[in-house]
Each structure stands twice: as C-alpha cells, then as structure tokens.
Structure 1
C-alpha cells in the first residue's frame, strides 16, 4: 500500500463516501474535500466536513496507519493543530492533538471496493519486470480518454518548455529575439553539441548578431570563430578570409570566448557537423531579417518551411569540414531537421510568446503540431509496441512527457491511464 493511493482515493472520492463513518461509528459527510497540498504540512487544506451533528472546517491528514501520526512527530508540530480528520488505511491507535483532544479517524479500507484495490495491486505488481506499470493493460484504455490525455500531456510539456524559455529570457534582459537565438543555436547543435552551441550563444550578445547579420560571411566567421572551429595553420584561402574577418569582429566587439564548451565532431553524421550547422544558421539570419517577428506571425505551417528553407554558404557545397574536399552537394536544411526545429524550439517559443502578449493561440499551436509527423525514438517505438498509432508530433511529444514525467516516476495515480485502469 502506498500513501499516494490513499490521496487518490480521497481526492477523487473513490470510496463509499456516502456511508463513511469514523472509527467510533460517527457518520461523516464530506462537504468539501480540501485543496491537495504537495508541500510540507497536512495533505489537504481547507476541507469542510460534518462529523455527527458538528460541522468542521480545517485540514485532512492521510497516513497508511494511524500510528504514523506519532512516527512523523505530528503531535508536536503546530502545523497539524487544525487537522479535523485523520484518514488512514488501517486504524491501529487513537491519536490526539497537543491539547489531548481526540482527532476523528476514517479507516478507508472499510469503504474501498475490492475491484479497485485489486486493480491497484495489479498495476503496481512486478514493477521490475515491466517497462511501464500498465504495459499489459494500456491498450484497454478507451480512445476518448487516451486522446484527451495525450493533448493534456502535450500542453503540459509546452508549459514546462515555457518555464525554460523564461529562464533564458532572464539572461537576455527579456529580449525575445535574443532568446530565440539561444534556443535556435542549441537546436542546431543537436543532441551532441546542444550544450556547447548554447554556451556559444550565451557568449555573444544578440546586438552583435543584429549588426553582423547583414553580411553572411561576417556572421559565419563570428560563429565559427567564437566556437573555436577555425584552423590556425590552414592555407585554404576561405579559411584565411574567415580568420581575418573573425579577428576584426573579435576586436571590434571585444568578444569573450573563455568558458565556451568544446564542440564535437565525433559520432556525428556529416550533415550535423557543427561547421555546416553554424553556416546554415548564419544564412538563416542573413536571409530572413526580423526572423523572430516573422516566425511569431506565421499562420500556416507551410510558411514555416518557406522561412527555414536555407542552405549553408557555397564553400560548404564541397566541404563538411575545413580539412577535406567532398563531392559537390548543397547543404540545405532537411524537412526532418526543420520538423525538429518546429517541435522543440519554434512552436514552444511561439506558445510562450502568445502567453506573454496575452493572445490565445492554443488551437493554432495544436493544429501545427498535429500536422507534423511523429518523431521516431526508442520511447515512441516501445509505446507503439504496446499501444500502436503514434502519428503526429503531438502524440510523440505527449508520449515522451508521459514516460519521463509519469511512467518513470511511478506517478500512475496522477495519470489518466492509471486512473481509468484502477477505477474501471
């Protein structure tokens, strides 16, 4: 038995509450369950109950056994003086406040349906042998519940990303263009170089980017130079030109490069080489003046692809790095890469900006994300084995949120799937 199961039973009235009585057989009428408290103190604040003929307003504390009240030292803690009902699974001892008045106790096991208890036990048994607790039963959840829960999970994930965006804004003096630059640079770094590219972005004030964006060669030299990617002993004429340009902007803007995380090439596919990605980003800011505002005003998904339809500078048509000449191939942003930019960076910042400006764009955001094809990774693959039909990026993002925030944390009782499986 877990205490959060008792919280679930109380919060959602998953017991025969109309028949509830205290351990001394006094009828209990629940007028208001109270507000669930996830911090220190009683578990539910501001409940209203009638116990016998007396109405009470106060807090509710929940334990597995009554004796946990003393095990946790509540009898000496003034935060628990206003507890009007002690809800337990098993009553094993009477408890008293500091003034020696008895606290009424409700023993829940007398009022919980056997089916609900059996479903709960089944859900959490053999955890070490399962990928997620409900892997053998998730396919039974009705589509209506499953689809609604996925939409809620996606919005929850967006809210979490909004918190991360606010943190970036706090370092850019609330400059949304600067925040987008940091986020885009991190995204262009992909999983391998995301942290390194973000540290690069955080070492360049966005005012410098604005000034250099009118000349793509200068912006490319700036990014490659600050990233430490310009070879020192090259005789390549393009490299020598980049070095000269970087020395100029480094001196002009007094750039600080100490503390930038090393950028890696190891285990990267050539299209994700940092040289290619930084050149593409430079061309994006050169090609699309006022990039932030253009992205924020997009109303059709196809417009995103038009804006992000850029390629690295012509030098990179025959190179992936400075060291080796390659067969000519234009290095454009692929649709799959643009999709990742939309999913992880552009749509989240558009959502956060709509909140900031007081505009309601949730429906538009949901339309965008639903029109993008699902991501493919180990989490999505595994969910598709136990409950197929992950079609859009809304589904894949929702499943990532589900796995990392609920399944891996055993938060089944806060999950719509777990709630349905226990109460069905």
Structure 2
C-alpha cells in the first residue's frame, strides 16, 4: 500500500459512495474531493464535505496510518490548521486539533473493494516483468491505447522542447542557429552527438550565414573548428581546406575544439565523423534557407527529396583525409533522414509553432505517422506483449510509456493502468 494509491482512490472516489462514517461515527457526505496539492502542505485543497449535515470547506490530509500525522510533525505546522478530514488506510492513533478536539478521521480501507486492492497489488508488485501489466495489457481496449499513445507522444515532444527552448534562450531565439545545432547533434548520432553539438556551438551562426555560399569555405570552417585541419597531410584538398581555415580563423577570431573529441572506433565508415561533417557542410551549402524549407514541408517524401544532396567529390572516394576507398555517393539514407525527422525537425517545428501560437496538433500527428517505427529492444519487447508499433508516433510514445510510467511504476497516472485497476 502506498499514499499514491490513497490519493488515487480519493480523487476518483473509488470507494463506497453511501453510508460513509468517520471512526467516531459521524456521517460523511463528500461534495468535492478537492484539488490534489503537488507542493508542500495538505494533500487535497479546497475540499467540501458534510459531517453529520454540517458543511465544511477546507483541506484533506492522507496517511497510511493515523499516527503518521505526528511522525511528520503536522501538529507543529500552521499549513495543516485548515484540515477538515484525515483520510487513512489504518487508524492506529487519535489525532487532536489545536482546540484539543479529535480530528475527524476516515478509515478508507473499510470502504474500498477487495478487488481494487487485489488489482493494485498484482499490478505493482510483480518485479519479474518487462512492464508490470504485461499479462493484462492485452485486455485493454485498442481505442483507449491509441488515444493514450497520442497523448504520450505530445508529452515526449514537450520534454524535447525543454532542451530546444534552452538552446533558443542561448541564441536570442535564433531558430536558424538552433536548427544548425540540433542537426549537428543528430548528425553525430549517440556516439558523437555531444561533440557535434560542441562543434556547432563553437561557431557563431552569423559566420555560417556569411560563408554558406561557398562549399569549400563552409567545409573548411566545419573541419577546422572540429580540429581536423591541424595535421601535416600531403593532400591537395586537405591543404586547400587548411589554408582556407587559417584565413577564417584569423578573420572571425575562432577557437577550435580538439578532434580527439570525435570517436571513430567501432563505427561504420558511413557514420565516421569526417563523413558526417562533410555532409553537414554540403547540406547547408545546398539549402541556404534550410529552416524555412523544413518548416514548410508536410510530407515524408518531400523531406527525402530535400535531403537528397550531393557531397563533395573528394568524399565520394574517401572516409578520412588520409586514405582512399571505393567510390560511393555517400548520400543520407532514408532511415537517417527519418531519425532527423523524429529527433530534430518535428520537435523544432512543434516549438516554432508554439512560439507563434499556431500549433496544429493534427498536422504534427499526420507527419510523425508517416515515419517508420524505430527498432530497438524496448519496441521489440512491447511487440512481444502484443503492443506493436506501426509508426514513429507509436514507437516514441511507447518509449515515453516505458521510461516515464512503467519503469517508475506510475500505473496510477497511466490510462492503461487506470483501466486495468478499475476493471
């Protein structure tokens, strides 16, 4: 038994509605349960109830045991002076108000069905499961699950928005600059994401705006800032970039980061940081008004077309500056573009529309539903319990469900958990 469960029972009135009595036999009639207090103080505020036909308006405090009132020293806290009812699971001590009269106490366990308690216990106390409700989730109506996943997807978007808004505050709400930083981070993937973000932050975006019209200059800027142009390599292309960066560094008073920040070990060659930096430079050269284009697109195929740009010739036959390789176009794959949609473009579009007061939730849902479901161990395990992800909306929502509800045992705050508890 937990206090969270008591809050849940009280808030949704999951107990006998009639013939309710306090421990000293006062008849209770509940008009309003009150508003749950997420801050310090009593658990429910502005409650309304009658005790033997006398109307009381005030706060409700809840404990597993009556004696917890003294354990928590509420008798010393003026915030609890307006408590009109003490709701407990087990009454083990009389609590007195400041006028030395007993505080009305409702032992709620006597009015809750055994089935509800049994459902709660079986749901929360089996530790050997991927999710606590994996044996029961198949009983939940598909319509309820679909609606819950939509809500969870927007919860995930809101969480991603926190990071984006922090970047915006650092750039004086320059959405183009933040797009550059977010794209750089995602071009680095998990292994090099932080280093790519550090690279993007090391360049004031006003410099990118000025130099975006020359692909060699932009490439020199990116590689130079990443620390890749400090070696002695006898390669004409490398020497050209090195000379160009030397000029840029002096012109803009730049300070580069170290190339040691970037990892190559155990990475597929197409994900080498050198390739991703070259692609990033080619992308911003090809689309010099990239932000406005991305914000205007609504169809997955349009994004495929936009990201179908040519990398510089040198990189078609190289993965690093030092060695040549079999020639290949090294274009962004569809799966990589979809990762950009999931992690960068749609979250940034959501924040951009929020900032303009123009959020179109249905448009966001239509776009994310076009993106393929992610493939990872969490999504696979959900599929094993008959919850299959059909698109990226559902895979993102399932990740949110697992990480912020299932793992934290927040079944009482989950639409699926609520449904199963009340079944």
Aligned twin of 2:126: 126
Match status 1:301 vs 2:283: no
- Kindly state the Cα deviation for residue 187 of structure 1 after the two structures are TM-superposed: 0.6
In structure 1, C-alpha distance between the alignment counterparts of 2:280 and 2:28, rounded to whole Å: 65
In structure 2, C-alpha distance between the alignment counterparts of 1:342 and 1:253, rounded to whole Å: 32
Aligned twin of 1:39: 39
Aligned twin of 1:387: 386
Identify which range, 395-404 or 379-388, moves more after superposition.
Answer: 379-388
In structure 2, C-alpha distance between the alignment counterparts of 1:48 and 1:312, rounded to whole Å: 68
**Quick check: 1:76–1:98 contact (8 Å CA) kept in 2?**
no
> CA 1:273–1:211 in 2, change beyond 3 Å: closer, same or farther?
same
SS at match of 2:327: coil
- Kindly state the Cα deviation for residue 103 of structure 1 after the two structures are TM-superposed: 2.0
In structure 1, C-alpha distance between the alignment counterparts of 2:195 and 2:30, rounded to whole Å: 55
1:382-415 deviation digits (Å, cap 9, x = unpaired): 1111124211000100011011111111111111
SS at match of 1:18: coil
SS at match of 1:17: coil
SS at match of 1:194: helix
Identify which range, 97-106 or 4-13, moves more after superposition.
Answer: 97-106
Aligned twin of 1:199: 198
- Kindly state the Cα deviation for residue 260 of structure 1 after the two structures are TM-superposed: 8.8
Identify which range, 5-14 or 186-195, moves more after superposition.
Answer: 5-14
Aligned twin of 2:148: 149
Aligned twin of 1:226: 225
1:288-332 deviation digits (Å, cap 9, x = unpaired): 121111111223332222222224221110011112210000010
- Kindly state the Cα deviation for residue 379 of structure 1 after the two structures are TM-superposed: 0.8
Identify which range, 95-104 or 155-164, moves more after superposition.
Answer: 95-104
Q: TM-score, normalised on structure 1?
A: 0.96
- Kindly state the Cα deviation for residue 174 of structure 1 after the two structures are TM-superposed: 1.1
- Kindly state the Cα deviation for residue 231 of structure 1 after the two structures are TM-superposed: 5.1
- Kindly state the Cα deviation for residue 71 of structure 1 after the two structures are TM-superposed: 0.7
**Quick check: 2:227–2:257 contact (8 Å CA) kept in 1?**
no
In structure 2, C-alpha distance between the alignment counterparts of 1:200 and 1:215, rounded to whole Å: 19
> CA 1:251–1:98 in 2, change beyond 3 Å: closer, same or farther?
farther
**Quick check: 1:200–1:261 contact (8 Å CA) kept in 2?**
no
In structure 2, C-alpha distance between the alignment counterparts of 1:102 and 1:212, rounded to whole Å: 77
Aligned twin of 1:352: 351
5+ residue gaps in structure 2?
Answer: none
In structure 1, C-alpha distance between the alignment counterparts of 2:247 and 2:237, rounded to whole Å: 15
Match status 1:406 vs 2:405: yes
In structure 1, C-alpha distance between the alignment counterparts of 2:292 and 2:90, rounded to whole Å: 60
Identify which range, 4-13 or 304-313, moves more after superposition.
Answer: 304-313
- Kindly state the Cα deviation for residue 21 of structure 1 after the two structures are TM-superposed: 2.1
Aligned twin of 2:160: 161
In structure 1, C-alpha distance between the alignment counterparts of 2:218 and 2:51, rounded to whole Å: 73
- Kindly state the Cα deviation for residue 258 of structure 1 after the two structures are TM-superposed: 5.3
> CA 1:97–1:204 in 2, change beyond 3 Å: closer, same or farther?
farther
**Quick check: 2:311–2:330 contact (8 Å CA) kept in 1?**
yes
1:104-159 deviation digits (Å, cap 9, x = unpaired): 111111111111111111112231x2222112222221111111111110011011
- Kindly state the Cα deviation for residue 38 of structure 1 after the two structures are TM-superposed: 2.0
In structure 2, C-alpha distance between the alignment counterparts of 1:382 and 1:61, rounded to whole Å: 40
**Quick check: 1:141–1:421 contact (8 Å CA) kept in 2?**
yes
- Kindly state the Cα deviation for residue 261 of structure 1 after the two structures are TM-superposed: 7.8
**Quick check: 1:199–1:261 contact (8 Å CA) kept in 2?**
no
1:233-280 deviation digits (Å, cap 9, x = unpaired): 110111111111111111111112358981111121111111111111
- Kindly state the Cα deviation for residue 74 of structure 1 after the two structures are TM-superposed: 0.9
Identify which range, 360-369 or 135-144, moves more after superposition.
Answer: 135-144
In structure 2, C-alpha distance between the alignment counterparts of 1:361 and 1:339, rounded to whole Å: 20
- Kindly state the Cα deviation for residue 51 of structure 1 after the two structures are TM-superposed: 2.0
In structure 2, C-alpha distance between the alignment counterparts of 1:82 and 1:199, rounded to whole Å: 53
**Quick check: 2:123–2:133 contact (8 Å CA) kept in 1?**
yes
Q: TM-score, normalised on structure 2?
A: 0.97
SS at match of 1:63: strand
SS at match of 1:121: helix
1:38-64 deviation digits (Å, cap 9, x = unpaired): 222211122222222222222111111
Aligned twin of 1:252: 251
Q: Which runs of 4+ in 1 moved over 4 A?
A: 258-261
Aligned twin of 2:325: 326
Aligned length in residues = 423
In structure 2, C-alpha distance between the alignment counterparts of 1:260 and 1:329, rounded to whole Å: 25
- Kindly state the Cα deviation for residue 362 of structure 1 after the two structures are TM-superposed: 0.6
Aligned twin of 2:420: 421
Match status 1:115 vs 2:118: no
- How big is the alpha-carbon RMSD for the aligned residues of Structure 1 and Structure 2? 1.5
Identify which range, 296-305 or 72-81, moves more after superposition.
Answer: 296-305
SS at match of 2:261: coil
SS at match of 1:136: coil
